[in-house]
Amino acid sequence: MEIYRKPLTAAEIKAKARELGADLVGVADGTRLDTSHITELDGARVIVLAKHLNDGVARIRRWDDRHKYYNDELALTHLEETSLELVYWLEDCGYPALIVPPTHVDPSRYANDPNAHIEPMLPLAHAAVEAGLGTLGLNLQLLTPEYGPRVILTAVLCSVDVQCDQPMQEALCRGPSCGRCLKTCPADAVREWERDWPACDRYRSPHGFAQLTEHLEKITQATDAATRKQLLRSEASFNLWQSILRGAGVITGCRRCADVCPVGADYEAMLADAHTEIPENTPQKEQRLAAMTGHSPAYEEQKRYIGILKI
């Protein structure tokens, strides 16, 4: 097989990914992330690609605005196409490759509970840190120097023998003294270097599987035909149908924590004026933040990915 392989460097792969449309690209060592459950042969490198989410919708303050869901879904579609083009290019160079999208979960882990959180096949935010693209924030969202958390990610697995990037040493997150992600969260899901994922899932996938099963249950349990008909024709049905149509509102949804985060070169110029106030903040949230030191056990667990705090 070697004779078919064109020698490649990490810089050439990154240049190709950028030419195809990615904004950020890094290469992580597959052994640090364990890709063997996806492929035993072709996961030696995890090439992480990021596309930034457009600022126009990040300036809309409502978390549940359909323009946000659609724009983000289109950004993901764009990045998936970029990733597929990169896979074909790598394969033309003689290296088998495959895509891991951010929304991909293992159906065998589903245990008949639509409300249970299922981890994705590959933790892409952690993969992005390993690939040197950024560090994790207070709620474990990926922060990048260029766009803060306002990026969407995919990974391309490939056993091409190129140099890996290294995680950044210094934390990008400003810690609990900032806490804007916690203050804004409509689900109140942000903890100290942790997130209540099931609570967040209801918002980041507002018309997802849990909501679909609940709505179908309501319809099937309605005792009279008129109520069933009304539920069938309701706004909830309409939203679910629209979301099934192309995934907007299922694979995309709330991202208030990303919109208000001050990290990223784009923030001051493009977003700060839209997010001076955080209307969802409460005295209770302020109290919880004031009690945080930044150095919790969760920080110690995730230190490699959060980086060294400047607080």
Q: Which chain residues interact with ligand SF4 by CB under 6 A? A: 137-139, 143, 173-175, 178-181, 184-187, 189-190, 195, 200, 203-204, 254-257, 261-263
Tell which phi-psi region holds residue 265, choosing left (phi > 0), alpha (psi between -120 and 50) or beta: alpha
Q: Which amino acid is at 155?
A: A
CA atoms of 248 and 103, how far apart (whole Å): 12
Angle at 162 between CA 129 and CA 155, to 5 degrees: 45
The continuous run of DSSP H or E covering 250 comes out as: none
Q: Which of 303, 285, 286 is nearest to 294 (CA)?
A: 303
Minimum distance of ligand SF4 from residue 111's CB (angstroms) = 22
CB of 279 to ligand SF4, least distance (A): 13
For ligand SF4, give the closer residue by CB, 62 or 229. 62
Nearer to ligand SF4, 86 or 278 (CB): 278
∠ CA 264-258-187, rounded to 5° = 155
Closest distance of CB 184 from ligand SF4, Å: 6
**Which helix (H) or strand (E) is 224 found in, with range?**
none
Would you say 86 or 181 has its CB closer to ligand SF4? Answer: 181
Q: From the CB of 154, what's the least distance to ligand SF4, in Å?
A: 19
Residue among 89 and 209 whose Cβ is closer to ligand SF4: 209
In the complex with ligand SF4, the residue whose CB is nearer, 24 or 254, is 254
Q: CA 104 to CA 155: how far, in whole Å?
A: 11
Smallest distance, Å, CB 299 to ligand SF4? 12
Q: How far is CA 105 from the centre of its chain?
A: 13
Quick one: tokens of 42?
Answer: 């072709």
The side-by-side arrangement of strands in the sheet containing 45-52 is 24-29, 45-52, 151-158, 97-100
Please report how the helices 66-92 and 235-246 are oriented relative to each other, as an axis angle in degrees rounded to 10. Answer: 20
Closer Cβ to ligand SF4, 44 or 143, answer by number: 143
Instruction: Determine the Cα–Cα distance for residues 88 and 195; give it in Å rounded to an integer.
Output: 36
Q: Tell me the three state secondary structure of residue 228.
A: helix
Q: Cβ closer to ligand SF4: 7 or 262?
A: 262
Look at phi and psi of residue 148 and say left if phi exceeds 0, alpha if psi is from -120 to 50, else beta: left
The least CB distance from residue 54 to ligand SF4, in Å, is 17
CB nearer ligand SF4, residue 70 or residue 89: 70
CB of 176 vs ligand SF4, minimal distance in Å: 7
Minimum CB–partner distance for residue 162 and ligand SF4 (Å): 31
Residue sitting closest to ligand SF4 (CB): 137
